[in-house]
Amino acid sequence: MNPKQLKKLKKRARQHQASTTSQPTDYIAAMTAYQTLFADYPTIKVLINNVLQADRLLKHGLLPQTLPHLLLPDDTQDVIFQRINAQFPVGDPEGDRLWDQLSAALPDLDEKLRSFRDYLETEYGMWAYISAPFVKDLADFVDGRPALEVMAGNGYVSKGLQDNGQTVIATDSKDWTAENETGRHPVTDIEPLSASEAVAKYGNQVAVIIMAWSPDGLTIDWDLLRQIRALDHPVDFVVVGERNGATGSKLFWQNAEFVDSPAVKALNAHYFQFDLIADHVYLVK
């Protein structure tokens, strides 16, 4: 499959998920019920537990842990069938009832696991999955240098850096608050500036600029990159997104120069793909 086809597939999948995802409280209620229903199946339960634990931490104002790939194993139905066969005699009505119940639940559970990012966007305005281990790696990279976050949304990256002892200015235009939860529930102080305004105001005062999940198809990121390149001093530009995929503009990805270094590998040490979106941490110049 060529990159264009893959991007279309991802967009269709996300549009479908967005149109079918339950209300947030229904989503968590369903996942909690599935935690009980599949309690005897460790490979399934660990996926559900990761989702519920991430939600609990975020509800308490804490960053979650890294996620595994939220995808049911291909042999899930076989594992369930074998366990039920070992537990009940052939033809036992209770075994048949349990098989029907579990196998009927699998498609919805699979869809809900795949749509966890949509739940995070809807409930928390979190687009890039910002985990505590990733932010610790980012804090180690910043290492006391003054930093600026643009398009900060609700400020999860900046709050995580601040909690790790870093000085960071969080900025966001708040343009998306009328459409979704982005910027409605800030977890730290966020100055109302567009990305361009933020760099114009603070660009020559900072050593690191961070941009996570620039909106898909908009050239804000390309305009910003040119603005950063014109600064009086070099800065480390940290970008979180899916290259030629669900984030940013074609112009940005075509013109970005990517740094390949041990520092980049360290930034990605705890930034893992957990769904269809293959986002990554980049150093761009």
Per-residue pLDDT tens digits of the chain, which is 285 residues long:
344 444 444 444 454 444 444 456 699 999 999 999 999 999 999 999 999 999 999 999 999 999 999 999 999 999 999 999 999 998 899 999 999 999 999 999 999 999 999 999 999 999 999 999 999 999 999 999 999 999 999 999 999 999 999 999 999 998 765 555 555 689 999 999 999 999 999 999 999 999 999 999 999 999 999 999 999 999 999 999 999 999 999 999 999 999 999 999 999 999 999 999 999 999 999
- Identify the three-state secondary structure at position 32: helix
Beta strand residue intervals within the chain, DSSP E: 147-150, 168-170, 208-212, 236-241, 280-284
Residue finishing a domain among 124, 145, 166: 124
Residues 89 and 138 reside in one and the same domain: no
Residue finishing a domain among 103, 124, 145: 124
Q: In CATH, what number is assigned to the domain containing residue 244?
A: 3.40.50.150
Residues 160 and 277 reside in one and the same domain: yes
Q: At which residue do the structure tokens 């869809």 appear?
A: 111
Residues 86 and 140 reside in one and the same domain: no
Residues 48 and 81 reside in one and the same domain: yes
pLDDT digits (tens, 9 = 90+) for 160-203: 999 999 999 999 998 765 555 555 689 999 999 999 999 999 99
**Strand partners for 208:** 147, 236
Residues 101 and 185 reside in one and the same domain: no
Cα Dmax for the chain: 77
Residues 139 and 168 reside in one and the same domain: yes
Residues 80 and 143 reside in one and the same domain: no
Q: By residue range, what is the domain housing residue 55? A: 3-124
Residues 110 and 146 reside in one and the same domain: no
Cβ contacts of 192 within 8 Å, gap of 6 or more: 171, 172, 173, 174
Residues 189 and 212 reside in one and the same domain: yes
Residues 198 and 100 reside in one and the same domain: no
CA atoms within 13 A on the CB side of 141: 28
Residues 117 and 155 reside in one and the same domain: no
**Strand partners for 210:** 149, 238
Domains contained in the chain, number:
2
Residue finishing a domain among 62, 97, 124: 124
Residues 157 and 236 reside in one and the same domain: yes
pLDDT at 182: 58
